[in-house]
Amino acid sequence: MDTSLIKVSGGLLQSCLGLKPHEKLLVVADDRKKDIGEALYEAGKQLGAEAMLMVMKEREKSGQEPPSPVSEAMKLADVVICATEHSLTHTKARKEAVAQGVRLATMPGITRDMFLEGAISADYDKVKQVTEQVADLLSRGKQVRIEKDGKVLTFSIEGRSGIPSTGVYVNPGESGNLPSGEGYVAPVEGSASGQIVVDGSIADIGKLQSPVTITVENGRLTDAQGEAAEELLRKLGEGSGRLLGEFGIGTNDKARITGIVLEDEKVYGTIHVAFGSNHTFGGTVEAGVHIDLVVNRPDVYIDDMLILDKGRLLL
């Protein structure tokens, strides 16, 4: 067993999830991430928790539900951490567990490198402060405008709450990604129109070698041009997977663009838009898929006020 992974796991379980002795800890892993799952389980045991490990078959895409025995077990734990290839963040299983007061972290696509370097090594007190400021801006805002390379995408966020994913989930019912550092919101369905140039990475596809230009009309992706466009459209399907579901701003200054969206979407000063499900964080789209697209150094306006200047946060 890798002692360095166990050591980091122990620190993370204590500082990010506040794990206490005798609490019920459930680690959910799939075949691809079993080694990290085992390190988290071992660390939980060493901390005196009632640790359990469930390993499932890898899901086919992000947003797909886990098997029902896993969903049920998630609801009965005190703390849940999910180390999986594809994301369980935007699933009913996560939403229902959190509604029961479970403290829960998802780590889709987590790698050994990300564990020992990069985003997990951030100062999470600092990340928390910046993330809460960003989420507050999103909660108060009504209209977003993103500008990059001559393309403009606009949408409404009026009446929607900004959500801080701080990396610190120590109170009952708190949840988010680890590593973390983003403020995000569910745009008002049907309100988005325009184009956006995506040049960072795309979830389940990886780091982009060349940009993809996305066209959105009435909240729906109507066209994608570029090398990865065809694969993106195939993953989103023909139905509600093509609806704009999320807008987020990265707030972690230690995160890097690696091709794994868990870290990519947290990179300080990047933004991401996602298509597909947002019913788990204030929207109405339930698509069984959620794909994030990361954009480097954009200009972002909220209610005509510049808050991101070529990737520099103006807070």
Least confident of 153-157, 246-250, 261-265: 261-265
- Flag whether pLDDT at 150 surpasses 80: yes
The share of the chain scoring above pLDDT 90, in percent, equals 90
Residue 163 CA to residue 66 CA, distance in Å, equals 24
Strand order in the sheet with 24-30: 50-56, 24-30, 79-83, 103-106, 175-177
pLDDT in tens, 78-98: 999 999 999 999 899 999 999
Question: How is residue 109 written in tokens?
Answer: 């696509």
- Bridge partners of 82, per DSSP, are 28, 106
**Whole-number pLDDT of residue 2:** 83
Using pLDDT thresholds of 50, 70 and 90, give the confidence band for residue 118: confident
Per the model's pLDDT, the better-predicted residue between 194 and 116 turns out to be: 194
pLDDT in tens, 104-114: 999 999 999 88
Query: Using one digit for the tens of pLDDT, what is the confidence trace for 236-250?
Result: 999 999 999 999 999
φ, ψ for residue 56, nearest 5 deg: -120, 170
| Average of per-residue pLDDT across 6-26 | 94
Given a cut of 80, whether residue 304 has pLDDT beyond it is yes
Q: What is the pLDDT, as a whole number, of residue 116? A: 85
User: Terminus-to-terminus CA distance in the chain, angstroms?
Assistant: 44
Cβ contact 270:293 at 8 Å: no
Domain parsing of the chain, residue ranges:
3-116, 121-313
pLDDT at 114: 87
- Beta bridge partners, 148, equal 151
Assign 1 a pLDDT band (cuts: 50, 70, 90): confident
pLDDT tens per residue across span 178-204: 999 999 999 999 999 999 999 999 999
Is pLDDT above 90 for 52? yes
Mean pLDDT (the chain) is 95
**Of 3.30.750.24, 2.160.20.70, 3.40.1830.10, 3.30.1330.60, which CATH number belongs to 3-116?**
3.40.1830.10
Q: What is the pTM of this model?
A: 0.85
117 — pLDDT class (breaks 50, 70, 90): confident
Which of 217, 226, 219 has its CA nearest to residue 197?
A: 226
Give buried/exposed letters for 4-13 (b at 16+ CB in 10 A, else e): ebbebbbebb
| pLDDT number for residue 285 | 96
Q: How far apart, in Å, are the Cα atoms of 9 and each of 152, 227, 246?
A: 42, 37, 29
Q: Quick one: average pLDDT of 258-279?
A: 95
How, if at all, do strands 201-202 and 290-295 pair? antiparallel
